[in-house]
Amino acid sequence: MSKDVRAEFGRATALHREGRFEEAIGIYRRLLRAQPAVFDVQRLLVMALLQAGKPREAFIAARKAREDHPSNAHAHLLLGAALEGDGKWERALSAFEAAAVLDPALKEAHYLAGNMLVRLGRLAESVARFDRVLALDPRGVEALANRSVALSRLGRAQDALRDCERLVELQPWEPRHLLSKGGALLELGRFKDAAATAVAALRLAPNLGDAHFLKGQALAGQADVAGARDAFAAAVTHAPGHAAFQAALARTERQMGNHAAARALCEVVLAGNPGAIPVWQELAEVRREQRDWDGALAAVDRALEAEGASPPALTTKARLLADAGQAAEARALVDAALQADSAFPMALYLRACDDLAEGRWAEGWAGYESRSSFLPPPYRPLPFTRWDGREVPDELIVLGEQGIGDLIQFGRLLRLLADRGIAARFVTKERHVPLLARIDARISVTTDLSGVDVSRPGLRWVPLASLPGLIAPDPADWPRAPYLTADPARIGRWQQLAGEGFAIGICWQGDPSPTVDIGRSAPLEAFAPLAALPGVRLVSLQRGVGTEQLDTCTFAERIVRLGPDWDADGTFLDTAALLHHLDLVVTTDTSLAHLAGARGVRTLVGLRAVPDWRWRRAGETTPLYGTVQLVRQSRAGDWSDVFARMARMVCDMKGEAA
């Protein structure tokens, strides 16, 4: 370049750096008219055009540069950048790959090709490209960061974590690396470690909303809902316009039972930002739990209008339709959610539940593993190998999960382990141990792993509800009831409670959590047709929430109440014994239904129109328990017909007994 040309070029680059792109572009064009094939000028012109939002003009300029310099790898990179800016990802990838062929040691070519492969969903190939970059430069921070993202999306969370830890080593001052590390820890279920990582990020950047959000997610994973709410509130304070943070705060308010606060928060946010899709989604959940079906549907439809095939919104609407008794329509929405995102956990879970309800056991149990993504487990994954169902371990640690009804239902499978000669140890809450220890004397039931050498190579672990998929998919092959015994001394002690007449134990309220209890529980007053039957004696087996209805129901004097110390020393210990003396148990979908079924007691279970998967979609019997009879709602939300039919059935039973 001449002195004058160099000066003009310097002025253009200065304007470019200042963001005065149009002026810089004008000078670059004048320079190229005078000297058409100067690559440095061509390169800067293309970049300025992209920065000015002119991808088509950038492509034309980049194509000219490539034509002028076909053997220059950087000219191909330039063309790839222009194509990427124009949304032509496949063609951009081809240009970056051409650059890599011309210069195999050009890190930028492999890096940009890797980024394009991520965008195209070709994740395994992208990892290979980032591997090439890191082989050339082991300290390549951006390649490490992007490889960790690709590994995470491939489900290789442990490998992603290693990359994140390396990033933290290379740039310990950078909070975003700690956020990436925390995300990988969340995927691995290491919630305590994720919380510590979030705190470390906050030490570097106390006002970083993403770090507060990570802390909230980690605390939620540890079932510290109050702590999660405070962390999400801090995230909203520091990033007030972030819809995901606002929705998370509303969700924790809802989980704490603060439905009015959650609803008010959503409505305030949406008044100012009607495009906040996650908040519409959360508002639908709040209204659903408040039994505002029309409002919930309206909210979820707003989310779907804004985002189309949104998996969260589709699955919420699916649950609303299931609440209304529309199982087929709900399944169609679940399938649509999975078409949009084949790995969306709630959609996988709902599909699995539908498969199980229809008796598609193999598909159902495989999909049921998705529960680990959102059901709060009482135990994190253990630090040794998970059992695959094929080998015979030296010892198998079986982790109890979910509620006591699930523990009773699936607990019988421990017998199958013992029948196979597998030494198993069942870990559950201390309060449940005395009851569950009565399933099989060959199985040790404990509260922790004290005395277990976790370094033993033959030690394995498995969640309890994963056993069906591993050893007995069809419930017809499970041990038959009765398989749960009661303490003989307690059986003798409680005989007098049943009294004279036809004794019916009743329970009307299950887990009061709005997430669980929608449509399952009935008001005690719905049992009035049973109370009106002559010669019937009702015994309340209700504990905790719901017992307050005993003081207000119209037939309270007809109900025998249990004392305050009932079952005080262990879950269902007294109740399991009392069942021996009852003629019948009548309950809604509660853990008592499982206890009575496991004890082999004649039981009527009242079910909502589309019940939980374990009760199937139709029929009066269940393969789970031979003595349980199912009485289903004819119309969603209507219990009157259910209990009228139950009263007629009790009359028939009394006639048989006489």
Tell me what the mean pLDDT of segment 213-225 comes to. 88
pLDDT of residue 515: 60
The CATH number that applies at residue 92 is 1.25.40.10
Confirm whether 373 is domain-assigned.
no
List, edge to edge, every strand of the sheet that includes 444-446.
444-446, 424-427, 395-399, 459-463
Confirm whether 301 is domain-assigned.
no
Assign 324 to helix, strand or coil: coil
Check: CB of residue 562 under 8 Å from CB of residue 519.
no
Asked if residue 657 has pLDDT above 60, the reply is no
Confirm whether 527 is domain-assigned.
yes
| CB hemisphere CA count around 42 (13 angstroms) | 24
Q: In what helix (H) or strand (E) does residue 433 lie, and over which residues does it extend?
A: helix 433-436
Number of domains the chain is built from: 3
pLDDT of residue 2: 62
Tell me what the mean pLDDT of segment 423-427 comes to. 92
CA gap 258, 250 in Å, rounded: 9
Tell me what the mean pLDDT of segment 342-367 comes to. 92
pLDDT of residue 167: 95
Instruction: Indicate if 18 and 124 belong to the same structural domain.
Output: yes
Instruction: Indicate if 466 and 608 belong to the same structural domain.
Output: no
Instruction: Indicate if 433 and 500 belong to the same structural domain.
Output: no
CA gap 29, 9 in Å, rounded: 11
Q: Find, among 566, 584, 581, 568, the residue nearest to 651 by Cα.
A: 584
Structure tokens at 170: 């290379």
| Span 376-393, pLDDT tens digits | 555 566 778 899 998 899
Confirm whether 160 is domain-assigned.
yes
Question: What are residue 104's phi and psi, to 5 degrees?
Answer: -60, -20
Asked if residue 3 has pLDDT above 70, the reply is no
Instruction: Indicate if 418 and 523 belong to the same structural domain.
Output: no
Give the pLDDT band (50/70/90) at residue 658.
Answer: very low
Check: CB of residue 109 under 8 Å from CB of residue 93.
no
| CB hemisphere CA count around 455 (13 angstroms) | 0
How far CA 648 is from CA of 111, 468, 510, 521, 631, in Å, comes to 74, 36, 24, 21, 12
Instruction: Indicate if 494 and 469 belong to the same structural domain.
Output: no
536-540 and 559-560 beta bridge pairing: parallel
559-560 and 603-607 beta bridge pairing: unpaired
Instruction: Indicate if 415 and 542 belong to the same structural domain.
Output: no
459-463 and 424-427 beta bridge pairing: unpaired
Check: CB of residue 77 under 8 Å from CB of residue 112.
yes
pLDDT of residue 453: 82
Question: Which of 415, 445, 477 lies at the terminal end of a domain, its last residue?
Answer: 477
Question: Which of 477, 507, 531 lies at the terminal end of a domain, its last residue?
Answer: 477
Residues 6+ away with beta carbon under 8 Å from 414: 398, 424, 426, 439, 440, 443
CA torsion 473→347→288→280, rounded to 10°?
Answer: 170
Tell me what the mean pLDDT of segment 269-278 comes to. 88
DSSP assigned state of 563: P
The CATH number that applies at residue 449 is 3.40.50
CA gap 301, 514 in Å, rounded: 21
* Range of the structural domain that residue 472 is part of: 395-477
- The DSSP bridge partners found for residue 607 are 632
Instruction: Indicate if 458 and 588 belong to the same structural domain.
Output: no
Q: Return the HEC string of 212-261.
A: HHHHHHHHHHCCCHHHHHHHHHHHHHHCCCCHHHHHHHHHHHHHCCCHHH
The whole-chain average pLDDT of the chain stands at 89
Cβ neighbours of 260 (radius 10 Å)? 11
pLDDT of residue 588: 93
| Span 302-350, pLDDT tens digits | 888 877 778 888 998 998 888 887 889 999 999 999 998 888 888 999 9
CA gap 140, 170 in Å, rounded: 9
The CATH number that applies at residue 612 is 3.40.50.2000
Question: Which of 458, 477, 496 lies at the terminal end of a domain, its last residue?
Answer: 477
Instruction: Indicate if 569 and 446 belong to the same structural domain.
Output: no
DSSP assigned state of 561: P
Q: In what helix (H) or strand (E) does residue 118 lie, and over which residues does it extend?
A: helix 107-119
Instruction: Indicate if 146 and 244 belong to the same structural domain.
Output: yes
Confirm whether 219 is domain-assigned.
yes
Instruction: Indicate if 457 and 532 belong to the same structural domain.
Output: no
pLDDT of residue 310: 82
Asked if residue 519 has pLDDT above 80, the reply is no
Q: What angle do CA 230, 231, 233 make, to 5 degrees?
A: 65
Asked if residue 276 has pLDDT above 90, the reply is no
Confirm whether 350 is domain-assigned.
no
Confirm whether 293 is domain-assigned.
no
- What is the percent of the chain with per-residue pLDDT over 70, rounded to a whole number? 97
Instruction: Indicate if 30 and 168 belong to the same structural domain.
Output: yes
Q: Find, among 324, 461, 448, the residue nearest to 385 by Cα.
A: 461
Tell me what the mean pLDDT of segment 137-145 comes to. 92
Tell me what the mean pLDDT of segment 391-401 comes to. 91
Tell me what the mean pLDDT of segment 96-104 comes to. 94
Q: Find, among 486, 355, 475, 457, the residue nearest to 410 by Cα.
A: 475
CA gap 595, 290 in Å, rounded: 30
Q: What angle do CA 620, 622, 623 make, to 5 degrees?
A: 150
| Span 631-656, pLDDT tens digits | 999 888 889 999 999 999 999 887 76
Instruction: Indicate if 465 and 515 belong to the same structural domain.
Output: no
Confirm whether 577 is domain-assigned.
yes
